[in-house]
Amino acid sequence: MKRVYPIEEYCIGCRLCEVACAVSHSKSGDIVRAYKEEGACPRNLVEESGAVSFCLSCRHCDTPQCAAACISGALRKDASGRVIYDEARCVGCWSCIMACPHGGIRQDVVRMKIIKCDLCPDRDVPACVAACPNRALKFEERP
């Protein structure tokens, strides 16, 4: 299965991956409306520590600890290998956030739900990968 892999040596911390993600998942698809009117929130996050930065998002693990910890069944692995999130079933307990060893799930404190990468299922390449100017994100299958 293809996943998004960050390459920290190439990341310049521009956060265009975050912008592309938020706009891609907004209702309007418009950058200004997404941020000013819709309160769009990216499903990934650029982590920075000094000169090192990289994009952090759900890794769609082979054995997702988040899904095992989910008390409501809002997280599950589908046949393709993606970890799917059903927002309607989420009760906002944050168990998945605590269980994820990679920090790939975040809180949406406004909606009291979680935010996680869905690999942009309606696109050939996730929006974050397509937007990265330095090719610091790779969408590929690895052994």
CATH number of the domain where residue 23 is located:
3.30.70.20
Say yes or no: 15 and 52 in one domain: yes
Say yes or no: 112 and 122 in one domain: no
Q: How many domains does one find in the chain?
A: 2
Residue 112 pLDDT class (50, 70, 90 cuts): very high
Indicate if the pLDDT at residue 65 is higher than 90.
Answer: yes
Write down the pLDDT at residue 19: 97
Write down the pLDDT at residue 109: 83
**Distance from chain centroid for Cα 91:** 19
Q: Are 98 and 105 in contact (CB under 8 A)?
A: no
Say yes or no: 79 and 93 in one domain: yes
Domain range spanning residue 124? Answer: 1-57+118-143
Indicate if the pLDDT at residue 5 is higher than 90.
Answer: yes
Per-residue pLDDT of 15-25, as tens digits, reads 999 999 999 99
Percent share of the chain, pLDDT over 70: 100
What pTM did the predictor assign? 0.91
Residue 42 pLDDT class (50, 70, 90 cuts): very high
Say yes or no: 85 and 123 in one domain: no
Residue 132: Cβ-neighbour burial (10 angstroms; 0-12, 13-18, 19+): buried
